[in-house]
Structure 1
Amino acid sequence: MKVTPEADEKMSKMKFFSVYPHYVKKVERKGRTKEELHQVISWLTGFSEDEIQKMIEDKVSFAEFFQKAKLHPNASLISGSICGYKVEEIEFPISRQVRYLDKLVDELAKGKKMEKILRSS
């Protein structure tokens, strides 16, 4: 599937705080922790625990969220399909970055080892 400009705009306007509880629920349902989720978010974005919480409280959009982020240099190693899209083929930066996060959350929920999720081995 290919991301359209309209879908990219919709994703860019989506609020991080509205998706965040779904991330927490997904990982906790599979026996992982909120702390591990924050470790994954921090790895991808460079945000501290306090900065993640501030993004939630400020109800920032995904566009604002990723504009403030300092993506990890190994983020481009994230590949595979998520929600029917091949992450590495998404041309719109915000959509690709949101799908990076979705992919990492999915890997965490599936029980992958943290070293693999964080592309450190």
Structure 2
Amino acid sequence: METNLERVYKMTFASVYPLYITKVEKKGRTQKELDTIIEWLTGFDTTTLQKLIAEQVTFEEFFKRATLNEHAPLIKGVICGVRIEDIEDPLMKKIRYLDKIVDELAKGKKLEKIMR
């Protein structure tokens, strides 16, 4: 039987990215700002992001190819009711880092503050 973690890992980045765009645009932010923070976290520029979306890569593959920013561990707080610092699974922690910075962007936080 598939666990919740496995289900999340097998989700494609392409299926979630439009939801991120909608979330930040509803709050007056832009796709360009979204791409900027994703690049800061993962090292993927907009062209690479689009390629990964076209390839329908899973979150597992997405983060396998990413070069995580050395400051990513400074991303702290609660996401989906769970404190990021307490997440033990390395891949889930990376996914939650991404969720958290998207939330911060949607909540109006300045890019400089998000990109610690």
TM-score normalised by the chain length of structure 2: 0.96
Aligned equivalent of 1:78: 75
Q: Which runs of 4+ in 1 moved over 6 A?
A: none
Q: Indicate the RMSD between aligned Cα atoms, in angstroms.
A: 1.0
Identify the residue that residue 53 of structure 1 maps to in structure 2.
Answer: 50
1:87 has 2:84 as partner = yes
- In structure 1, distance between residues paired with 2:96 and 2:16: 12
Amino acid at match of 1:117: I
Q: Which residue of 1 aligns with 2:64?
A: 67
| Count of residues paired in the alignment | 115
Of 17, 30, 37, which aligns to 1:33? 30
Whether contact under 8 Å (1:8, 1:92) holds in the other structure is: no
Letter in 2 for 1:85: V
In structure 2, C-alpha distance between the alignment counterparts of 1:81 and 1:111, rounded to whole Å: 17
Which residue number in structure 1 is paired with residue 16 of structure 2?
Answer: 19
CA shift digits 1:19-74 (9 cap, x unpaired): 00000000000000000000000000001111000111100000000000000000
Q: Secondary structure at the match of 2:109?
A: coil
